[in-house]
Structure 1
Amino acid sequence: MDPITLAVVRGALEQIADEMDLHLIRAAISPIISETNDCAHGIYRADTGETIAQGRFGLPVFLANMQFTVQNLIEHVRGSGGFRPGDVWILNDPYLSGTHLQDVVLVAPHFVDGELFALLASTGHWMDIGGAVPGGWAPSAQEIHTEGIIIPPVKLYDEGKLNTGLVSMFTRNVRLPTQIEGDLFAMANVFSVGRRGLDSLIARHGRDTLSACISEMIERSEKQMRSYIAEIPDGVYHCEDFLDNDGIDDKPIRIALSLTVEGSSMHFDFSGSDPAACGPVNLARTTTQSTCFIALKHIFADVPVNGGAFRPTQFTIPEGCVVSAAYPSPVSGYLEPIGRVFDVVFGALAQAIPQRTPAPAFGTVGVVTVGGRQPDTGSYFVAVFPYPGGYGAHARGDGLVNGTPPVSMANFMSIEMSEHRYPLQFVEYALREDSGGAGRYRGGCGTQYRFMTRSECVVSALGDRVDHVPFGIAGGKEAAPSVVQFGIGGREMTPPMRSKVEKQRMHAGDWLAAASPGGGGFGDPLERDLEGVERDLNLGYISRRTAEEVYGVVVSEQRRKSGALRYSVDSGASARKRARMRGDQGKTAATG
């Protein structure tokens, strides 16, 4: 294979997928797509359903999930006459397409000279799916039918003819019919971008050359991923973590992984995980698999995203467990358990390759949804706020502050846009002091925000990481817990499930405050360089108390003319204090 042609074709295919992402982001009506980028697009092999290329502007959570969706659809369509030119299929059944009901998938075939050449797919998050809770995140759901409409694989377009009755069914059963209809047709129109790009490539290189390049791309990705896995010491690595609760029963839920590395292959075994939860914090099998791939991609970032990168992995995931839930288990809160799956993969790999594996990030999306009617028009509104947090530290540096969730990468919509669209007023959005885990390298800071409502509405929260916080690695410390609080009629209130509450009624002047964890720390805090501690103090990342008691430094302060405090670290006194603290730790370890 000519390497220049291969590189040009690979770049062009990735560009087509990128353009599909951008087309939907710019055309969508709902801000969860246009502002938060909650979408994804890809090109897939028509025979195997393997990913050829996926856009880089959508969410990582759909990385492999869309491949599994396409593969499941291929099996379904095979029994119903196959794909035809002009067809567009639609589904959101999470037991086939993963994630949750709000993530709707469209799949269209692309034909060349009358023969099926590839499949194109578009995933977009709908702001409402017709369930009991505005927005679809239902913290008290005990079955999927509470969460919204299930769309089995069905044709939206049949050989180019729109199923208008299906569109009417959607718009009649959601709170935001205009937004949903607009987003639906924007998603369907994305396929014109993909078809145009593929036709241009085929006209330039020919079908045979393009097919050969695709096969070579996938094989090279497999070889590259296998070469990286082969560098990991063979062995079985165990890690487990817990969800605080499922929103129904206030007891922890175990997610356990045994990761086997053998040669150039990996086997993920989740057999030790708890049964499916009663509440909505379950995962479909495909989402669990996809999350494992995302974790690997964070470590082996230069492996191209295509089906070859997924081939070296095998899975044992018992059906009916919390990470392979079956109908009718609810899944609207899937963003919480994927954080835990992500972290147990990191926790297992940290035992084998600690210098390449970061500590866990904040590990909760903490979605807050606000639903009600606009005070001026009376029309429904639904607002969605996934909060940013801190990333885990690693062997090369501190964790990112104010980062989007590493599995979903959903943006927090700008304050200005939020206040413009919804009857809300934000009174605070800030980095959260002392939220990152201490260490030689510090976990990134989480965030805290507070908004007041300007009219009557209902507010729901679906988060986690209050009781079981992000852990540190290699001697690093854990991060701070998440926090959700309400101010209702002048009275402060914490939900009984701490981070989960459904349809809390609020009136004008009431408020909600949410704070995300930081990331876990890496290494002994007493080994952090003094300049780093001083910088963190002056940036407000850590408090003076943490600097003195955890990092073992001696601090002096000076008030400037502006009134601001400037902290300084005494290097000599700090070195002596740290030596004493290490001695005390050694004595404790010896007598413990």
Structure 2
Amino acid sequence: MTLSRTDPVGLAVFKSATHSVAEEMGAVLRRTSFSPNIKERRDYSCAVFDGDGAVVAMGDHMPVHLGSMPMSVRAAIDAVKMERGDVVVLNDPYAGGTHLPDLTMVLPVFVEGEATPVMYVAARAHHADVGGMYPGSMGLCREIYQEGLRIPPVRIVRGGEVVRDVMALILHNVRTPMEREGDLMSQIGACRVGAERVGELIAKYGVARLRELMRGLLDYSEELMRAEIAKVPSGKYEAEDFLDNDGFSDEPIRIAVAVTFDSGAGSVAVDFAGSSEQVRSSINAVYAITYSAVYYVFRCLLAEDAPATAGLMRPVTVIAPDGSIVNARLPGPVAGGNVETSQRIVDVLLRALALAMPGRIPAASSGTMNNLTIGGVDPRTGRSFAYYETIAGGMGARAGADGVSGIHTHMTNSLNTPVEALEYAYPLRVRRYGYRNGSGGDGEFRGGDGIVREIEMLGEAQVTLLADRRVFAPYGLEGGGAGALGRSSLVSGEEVSELPGKCSVAVKAGDVVRVESPGGGGWGLVR
């Protein structure tokens, strides 16, 4: 008999306690960070892990971070023999990371009498610049070495003291070193708070009981997932969807999936065979991203209070062909895989699940994070700046409800930068910010509308876009209509020119960049 049955109350209390640790870590990171991307948009994630590196609790943060973070923790454990007071930093997408702007920190928690860590805590945050060809480190590149500084697992804190050589190496390779140092120190602080709270749990429960509770959480999560899978009729459910292009050609990029349920065994296989090969462009996804997207989709099938642990994926097998768009190899560039390809993986998975469980799955949401980066020299200070934002779109409708307008969906869980914060921090002026009325798909239940955001440059700058759903619209379900395609343009004086979804352009003072994000798909025939 599992712990979940013998002591359900104790397990529920422990679940809430570990979740609160991750949430408090996130609050510390948000309150102490320097950049608007972390402080205002909350582009970060925190989690708690057992001594083997299995996740036992996640904050309510970014799905694209959380499902993949265990691979970064595993990479840190394998690469560095961590001692008391150490913190390891890494961002390598080919060592469990997602893309280079996402820096992960891992801190081990020791207790007296134990030679190895009892638990780990980790914090991941998207930094607004990590070097590379473009301000913001999110432009189209041909190989990962052009995208920015690639950091393997290394100590950034040793024995409680910051390793100044490592910190200096990072700061000398970015455009905004003061902001980066502030955000890095905030991550270190968040990890230290997490370790302190974990220490309090160890003092309360003792090591033996703590390990028993962690095993119980993992097993309980597995039980919930197997029970959910058992409700789905056995069989293979297939779907496909497309990314518009790779930014260098007009060739669409296919993502295909076959989801095979074995309800008797309570297991499922998710196979991406048939997806396009990786491309020489930054929209490749590493395996950690694909795994994270699958984790997110299957986590959504469970009740909100189900513990988000590594146990959820025990019944789920993820197959992603090596060298494909969903499992890229070095030296493939990957900046957009984290933000754009991850969204399309979710779209295609939901499309397949709509066949397996009709009436339960929503229509496609906007399907792109509309990544916008603007960088240059701030004329007010003479210092370099790098602004990064993802722009929300429409949520897909579902049975019984319209989609929500102007919201971040699926693999992103961030906020839009408030106008006041944006204009205070950067030489930019927001000219327009509102809903893109009528962009949601028709149906018995309408898709949510996208957003229109217009930003004026107050000085010369480089504007980079990494967006999708400019060719293939967000699909409707059960007869519902597709959401409107996204659109981007540059307004320079009286001239308005359309911008490709993936591009980088030099702009001058007074120019305005307009981004119109896609709407969500509709659900059901109009009655």
- Residue 120 of structure 1, CA deviation: 1.2
- Residue 78 of structure 2 corresponds to 75
Give the Cα separation in 2 of the matches to 1:69 and 1:471: 33
How far does the alpha carbon of each residue in 1:115-136 deviate from its partner, in whole angstroms, 9 at most, with x for none? Answer: 2201111111111101110010
Give the Cα separation in 2 of the matches to 1:465 and 1:297: 25
Partner SS state of residue 83, structure 1? coil
- Residue 50 of structure 2 corresponds to 45
- Residue 34 of structure 1 corresponds to 39
Give the Cα separation in 2 of the matches to 1:328 and 1:475: 42
Partner SS state of residue 299, structure 1? coil
Q: 1:299 touches 1:356 (CA, 8 Å); kept in 2?
A: no
1:367 aligns with 2:366: no
1:449 aligns with 2:453: yes
- Residue 450 of structure 1, CA deviation: 1.1
- Residue 327 of structure 2 corresponds to 324
- Residue 402 of structure 1, CA deviation: 0.9
Counting matched residue pairs gives: 516
How far does the alpha carbon of each residue in 1:165-220 deviate from its partner, in whole angstroms, 9 at most, with x for none? Answer: 11111111111000111111111121221122112122222222221111111101
Query: How high is the sequence identity, in percent, across the aligned residues?
Result: 36
- Residue 67 of structure 1, CA deviation: 1.2
Question: TM-score by structure 2 length?
Answer: 0.96
Give the Cα separation in 2 of the matches to 1:299 and 1:443: 21
Give the Cα separation in 2 of the matches to 1:222 and 1:358: 25
- Residue 121 of structure 2 corresponds to 120
Written as runs of structure 1 = structure 2, the 5 A alignment for 1:494-573 is 494-495=498-499, 498-502=500-504, 504-525=505-526, 527=527
Match for 1:54: what amino acid?
Answer: M
Match for 2:519: what amino acid?
Answer: G
- Residue 146 of structure 2 corresponds to 146
Give the Cα separation in 2 of the matches to 1:301 and 1:372: 45
Match for 1:348: what amino acid?
Answer: A
Written as runs of structure 1 = structure 2, the 5 A alignment for 1:324-363 is 324-334=327-337, 335-363=339-367
Q: 1:360 touches 1:472 (CA, 8 Å); kept in 2?
A: yes
- Residue 98 of structure 1, CA deviation: 2.9
Written as runs of structure 1 = structure 2, the 5 A alignment for 1:86-485 is 86-115=85-114, 116-139=117-140, 141-263=141-263, 264-302=266-304, 303-334=306-337, 335-485=339-489
Find the partner of 1:66 among 66, 69, 77: 69
CA RMSD of superposed structures (Å): 1.3
Give the Cα separation in 1 of the matches to 2:332 and 2:301: 32
Match for 2:247: what amino acid?
Answer: G
Q: 1:98 touches 1:285 (CA, 8 Å); kept in 2?
A: no
Give the Cα separation in 1 of the matches to 2:161 and 2:393: 45
Give the Cα separation in 2 of the matches to 1:176 and 1:489: 30
- Residue 17 of structure 1 corresponds to 22
Structure 2, unmatched stretches of 5+, are 1-5
- Residue 298 of structure 1, CA deviation: 2.5
Match for 1:75: what amino acid?
Answer: D
Structure 1, unmatched stretches of 5+, are 528-592
Give the Cα separation in 2 of the matches to 1:237 and 1:98: 30
- Residue 489 of structure 1, CA deviation: 4.3
Give the Cα separation in 1 of the matches to 2:429 and 2:181: 28
Q: Specify which structure has the bigger relative contact order, considering alpha-carbon pairs within 8 angstroms and separated by 6 or more residues.
A: 2
- Residue 392 of structure 1, CA deviation: 0.8
How far does the alpha carbon of each residue in 1:274-293 deviate from its partner, in whole angstroms, 9 at most, with x for none? Answer: 01011100100011010111
- Residue 300 of structure 1, CA deviation: 2.1
- Residue 148 of structure 1, CA deviation: 0.2
Give the Cα separation in 2 of the matches to 1:205 and 1:490: 68
Give the Cα separation in 2 of the matches to 1:161 and 1:471: 52
How far does the alpha carbon of each residue in 1:231-258 deviate from its partner, in whole angstroms, 9 at most, with x for none? Answer: 0111111111111111112210001111
Match for 1:33: what amino acid?
Answer: I
Question: TM-score by structure 1 length?
Answer: 0.85
* Greater radius of gyration (CA): 1
